[in-house]
Amino acid sequence: MLAYRINSFGTPPLLEEIASPSPAAHEVKIRIRACGLNFADLLLQKGTYQDTPVPPFTPGLEAAGEVIDCGSSVENLAPGDRVAVFGGQGGLAQEGVFDAARVLRIPDSMSFEDAAALQIAYGTSHVALDHCAGLQPGETLLVTGAAGGVGLTAVEIGKLMGARVIAHARGAGKLEVARAAGADHLIDANADLRGQVKSLGGADVVYDAVGGDVWKAAFRATNPGGRLLPIGFASGEVPQIPANHLLVKNLTVIGFYIGGYMKSHPEVIQRSLSTLMEWHSAGRISPHISHVLPLAQVDEGMELLRSRASTGKVVITP
């Protein structure tokens, strides 16, 4: 089978022919029909992601496809089942084996592309906003990087939860994507973020996927008693948080990393994904996929993420 392999850090990954794997007792083997790309896949290539395996390995954190074989101890899945998996690696290949505990059946109405695009982006936003930040109807939610893979889902879910949503993104095209997802107010990345958010009454919850100066401006525009979620650092700068400001304004900063929750609180992630599957079936959410590419064009897909030329998700179809 073909797989996109990272053989060493700092060297370009290669599309290679490797042996088809066999599942262990607790694993299932999946014919992969779609794999969602994430910013983490770029970090995996450099060895800087917090959960980077030892090379060689196949990246691709989330995938969807059909079960083709099950390990001897797997009881809740069978060959032919349509499934999604948040495996953490292994998705950029024609086949893969994954822990059965991470595999979830998907509705017949859900495409493999949607299933591959939904898990990390929607799961991150749903758990962060609902379980962690406790976003309430009527509160103001500021989303930075609002047209990106996770940011766009935060706009959509925040609106579904009854918040007033302020979207921050670069350029009219990306802001229009955020508006279509439900944003009430739009702020261009070249504008005065702090000033404009303050003019709208400030933010009660901040969902920041950018970091750097954007975080600093959002932090200063947060209302007393507000909650801030550092979700990612697309700017390349991890911000330092002044504890004295937290004290004076009674602010709460909530760290959330979905991969860590998958290990420490898997029931929270599984419950969230089940809810999201129901919302998708009911037409309440719809993943925005800007590009669908074949496995031979993974490098092109990675460049779309690196250059921020995509909106929503980029999906690879092995």
Give per-residue pLDDT as tens, 256-274: 999 889 889 989 998 999 9
234 pLDDT higher than 90? no
pLDDT attached to residue 116: 96
Q: What percent of the chain has pLDDT over 70?
A: 100
pLDDT attached to residue 51: 87
How is residue 10 written in tokens?
């700092």
> Are the beta carbons of 227 and 206 closer than 8 angstroms?
yes
291 pLDDT higher than 90? yes
pLDDT attached to residue 166: 98
pLDDT attached to residue 94: 98
pLDDT attached to residue 10: 84
pLDDT attached to residue 50: 86
pLDDT band per the 50, 70, 90 thresholds, residue 236: confident
Give per-residue pLDDT as tens, 149-166: 899 999 999 999 999 999
Q: What is the mean pLDDT of residues 227-243?
A: 93
Give per-residue pLDDT as tens, 170-184: 999 999 999 999 999
Q: What is the mean pLDDT of residues 94-104?
A: 96
Is the pTM here over 0.85, yes or no?
yes
Name the average pLDDT for the chain. Answer: 96
243 pLDDT higher than 90? yes
- Compute CA distances 147 → 98, 192, 262, 279, whole Å: 30, 18, 25, 21
Q: How many CB atoms lie within 10 A of CB 178?
A: 29
pLDDT attached to residue 296: 97
For the chain, give the DSSP string: -EEEEB-STTS--EEEE-PPP---TTEEEEEEEEEE--HHHHHHHHT-STTPPPSSB---SEEEEEEEEE-TT--S--TT-EEEEE-SS--SBSEEEEEGGGEEE--TTS-HHHHHHHHHHHHHHHIIIIIIT---TT-EEEEESTTSTTHHHHHHHHHHTT-EEEEEESSHHHHHHHHHTT-SEEEETTS-HHHHHHHTT-EEEEEESS-HHHHHHHHHTEEEEEEEEE---TTS-PPP--HHHHHHHT-EE----HHHHHHH-HHHHHHHHHHHHHHHHTTS----EEEEEEGGGHHHHHHHHHTT---BEEEEE-
